[in-house]
Structure 1
Amino acid sequence: MRKSSLRRTPRRTGAALAAVTALALAATACSGTTKDDVDNESAANAPGGKADPDTALKKDLTVGFLPKQVNNPYFTTADKGGEKALRELGSRFKEVGPSSGTDTSGQVSYVNTLTQQQVDAMAVSAQDPGALCTALKQAMSNDIKVVTYDSDTRPECRNAFVSQASSEDLGRTQVRLLAEQIGYRGEIAILSAAQTATNQNAWIGFMKDELKDPKYQDVELVKVAYGDDDAQKSFQQTQGLLQEHPKLKGIISPTTVGIKAAAQYLSGSKYRGRVRLTGLGTPNDMRKYVKNGTVEAFELWDPAKLGELAARTAVALVSGQITGKKGETFTAGPMGEYTIGSGGVISLGRPTVFDAKNIDRFTF
């Protein structure tokens, strides 16, 4: 992990920051889910004046990336996209984060660390929708811009959220993919990540809503299991689902760690080809399982592009091109122009479906 050399004038006293840090570490997790239609008035808590889309982008900035879990292949790819963009923009990249995919308190301490180091902005994938709020608000009060990516916090605790795609699109399309594969009939289960993960819960909410459509009247969701984005636990949860529900026809795993672990289990079992699996995965992880018939089709966005957009959004915020309010537009370099939607949400775009016909065209 590369460390940046910072030469900036301190913006607060050590005693004051220590007191706030202690308060943030004492904060407890809160329940809640962020969806795409968050009301704008509760969203862009953007200090400062009016956005100027024509102002020049600042250089020599430091942007800290805080993923849910370092050394997770998905976040490694996403954060490398952010690092590449920052290098092109003449600024510095810094990554910190917990090694566990469920370490919410660890994320709080890393937010406080980045605040103490006086970074210009931070991009955070939140483990929990509320647990980071106190720490993130303190960062914002110290003129640090906060972007969430992949998984959101509460809207008032950041300036903007860079979403992989519409939560509704992601939730509904995963159900549609699986339903087509099982002939719209049979028991299905969901293998999620952490029970508090904002993005997972938003997608699962739309999955359940999609299943209310009469065309799914013969499809029954029997269980939502949680693998905590841990490969071994996800593998075991897959095994447990099949033991508990011997008539299971399909599994949706909206997490790259979970779908890979589930595919690994199914591939070496009597269930290969009998129990369908779809969800969100990377082509590199899933290629062999598509080719050996374990998985027919799955979907994802390009995580490198997600990280890149998070970085470019952070720099645009620091530069004053945007403040995070609905309707503001900015140009994200070669990615093109983006418009901020309700709740300060910036959507990367529609997910891509991968199958045997196209998977070899992708290398992430």
Structure 2
Amino acid sequence: MFTHDRKRRLGVSITALAVGAALALTGCSAGGGGDAGSSDGASDANLAITFLPKNLGNPYFDTSNAGGEEAIKEFGGTYAEVGPAEASPTSQVTFIQTAAQQGVGGLVVSANDPEAICDALNEARDAGVKVVTFDSDTNPDCRDLFINQATAEGIAKSQVDLIAEQIGDAGQVAILSASANATNQNAWIELMKTDLADNHPNIELVETVYGDDDDQTSFDKTAALLQTYPDLKGIISPTTVGISAAARYLSTSEYKGKVALTGLGTPNQMREYVKDGTVTAFALWNPADLGYLAAYATKALIEGDITGKEGDTFDAGKLGEYEVGADSVVLLGDPYVFNADNIDDFDF
């Protein structure tokens, strides 16, 4: 899907948005993570790792979890994916409990709520399961490690900068988010509000609505926004389901080319809308790298190569070596801006 160099450019080396820290990526373990037998007892490690996304059938998580599966096959573990059909705060609890009862070695979770699954996760940890969150975190005391796709500040700034450029830094905008409880979405939105207030006085944020990471709900919320705010100039959707649903609505409406849309999406979802002029530019990291890193980080925890403390390092194979930061967070990389000039260079 990607060459090594292109992955590095997408996940780590892009500096145009100045997010800052390099984010930890996963790959074939060649150093701190090691091969399956690189450390004492590693050959006996329980490398059965289950991925639990916010919901199944979400293209973003299809891609990220495929990256996790790729990594797990490389180091000889056992991959599984489970999850709810809909992304609600408590919908992941039973899957966590079942995974723990089945005796998996690691659980990789994108949390629908920072609190609602904490008891279940800590019960799993008490049973010996290593818990890694990715994409959307829980409270830090509910997991061993968080694989963060980018700094919240960098993600927020990239989206504000894109919409400001596209609407001439003036006019009404709205935000179409995922669920109201999503940890990452809410952090980005608060930072976007601050950035807009501090640096874009002529842009008015009129409303934030929630599509619950459901295509039809997001589609309907887009229609409602445009009916409610006839002077709306732009929409920011920091969720792959939301941005593609909004683009689908705009592409066949009178608002195509008049209302700007940006946010976080995958090239394969957004290609037709970029090429037909519905969308000028949007951003994302490589979700396959995110899942890939999460799997290798989980392996390193299971084998005892890292504990999750600040300063721990592990090798992410083809993606290089990475360091655990404060609060047991590993950073993947800067967001990358996709547009008509480069979108065909990527396939995910």
TM range (shorter): 0.7 to 0.9
In structure 1, the partner of 2:228 is: 244
Q: RMSD value over aligned CA atoms?
A: 1.4
Identity of aligned residues (%): 54
Establish whether residue 255 from structure 1 lines up as the match of residue 255 from structure 2. Answer: no
Q: Give the 5 Å matches for 1:135-150.
A: 135-150=120-135
- Which secondary structure state, in structure 1, belongs to the residue aligned with residue 160 of structure 2? helix
Counterpart pick for 1:75 among 61, 70, 77: 61
Q: Give the 5 Å matches for 1:108-123.
A: 108-123=93-108
Distance in 1, matches of 2:347 and 2:110, equals: 23
Amino acid at match of 1:232: Q
In structure 2, the partner of 1:159 is: 144
Distance in 2, matches of 1:53 and 1:239, equals: 48
Instruction: Spell out, residue by residue over 1:24-82, the C-alpha distance to the aligned partner (whole angstroms, 9 max, x if none).
Output: xxxxxxxxxxxx9xxxxxxxxxxxxxxx8776355661001100011211111111110
Indicate the larger mover: 326-335 or 184-193.
326-335
Distance in 2, matches of 1:229 and 1:119, equals: 28
- Which secondary structure state, in structure 1, belongs to the residue aligned with residue 114 of structure 2? coil
- Which secondary structure state, in structure 1, belongs to the residue aligned with residue 197 of structure 2? coil
* Residues 60 and 132 (structure 1), Cα distance of their counterparts in 2 relative to 1, 3 Å cut: closer
Establish whether residue 313 from structure 1 lines up as the match of residue 300 from structure 2. Answer: no
Contact 1:60 1:90 in 2 (8 A): no
Instruction: Spell out, residue by residue over 1:113-135, the C-alpha distance to the aligned partner (whole angstroms, 9 max, x if none).
Output: 00000100100000000001000
Amino acid at match of 1:349: G
Distance in 2, matches of 1:101 and 1:133, equals: 16
Task: Tell me how far 1:209 sits from its aligned partner.
Answer: 1.3
In structure 2, the partner of 1:93 is: 79
Distance in 1, matches of 2:307 and 2:219, equals: 43
Establish whether residue 343 from structure 1 lines up as the match of residue 347 from structure 2. Answer: no
Task: Tell me how far 1:226 sits from its aligned partner.
Answer: 0.2
Distance in 1, matches of 2:316 and 2:297, equals: 7
Distance in 2, matches of 1:264 and 1:96, equals: 28
Establish whether residue 225 from structure 1 lines up as the match of residue 209 from structure 2. Answer: yes
Task: Tell me how far 1:325 sits from its aligned partner.
Answer: 1.0
Paired positions, count: 312
Distance in 1, matches of 2:241 and 2:94, equals: 24
Task: Tell me how far 1:327 sits from its aligned partner.
Answer: 1.4
Distance in 1, matches of 2:218 and 2:33, equals: 45
Q: Give the 5 Å matches for 1:266-305.
A: 266-305=250-289
Contact 2:158 2:335 in 1 (8 A): no
Contact 1:192 1:225 in 2 (8 A): yes
Contact 1:326 1:340 in 2 (8 A): yes
Amino acid at match of 1:304: A
Distance in 2, matches of 1:210 and 1:220, equals: 12
Distance in 2, matches of 1:288 and 1:53, equals: 40
Q: Please tell me whether Structure 1 or Structure 2 has the larger radius of gyration of its CA atoms.
A: 1
* Residues 53 and 264 (structure 1), Cα distance of their counterparts in 2 relative to 1, 3 Å cut: closer
- Which secondary structure state, in structure 2, belongs to the residue aligned with residue 161 of structure 1? strand
User: Does 1 or 2 have the higher relative contact order (CA < 8 Å, sep 6+)?
Assistant: 2
- Which secondary structure state, in structure 1, belongs to the residue aligned with residue 205 of structure 2? strand
5+ residue gaps in structure 1? 1-35, 37-51
In structure 2, the partner of 1:195 is: 180
Task: Tell me how far 1:105 sits from its aligned partner.
Answer: 2.5
In structure 1, the partner of 2:171 is: 186
Please give the TM-score of this superposition, normalised by the length of structure 1: 0.84
- Which secondary structure state, in structure 2, belongs to the residue aligned with residue 179 of structure 1? helix
Distance in 2, matches of 1:100 and 1:137, equals: 23
5+ residue gaps in structure 2? 1-18, 20-31
* Residues 238 and 53 (structure 1), Cα distance of their counterparts in 2 relative to 1, 3 Å cut: closer
- Which secondary structure state, in structure 1, belongs to the residue aligned with residue 253 of structure 2? coil
Counterpart pick for 2:116 among 110, 117, 131: 131
Instruction: Spell out, residue by residue over 1:128-157, the C-alpha distance to the aligned partner (whole angstroms, 9 max, x if none).
Output: 000010000111111110000110001000
* Residues 53 and 93 (structure 1), Cα distance of their counterparts in 2 relative to 1, 3 Å cut: closer
Amino acid at match of 2:93: V
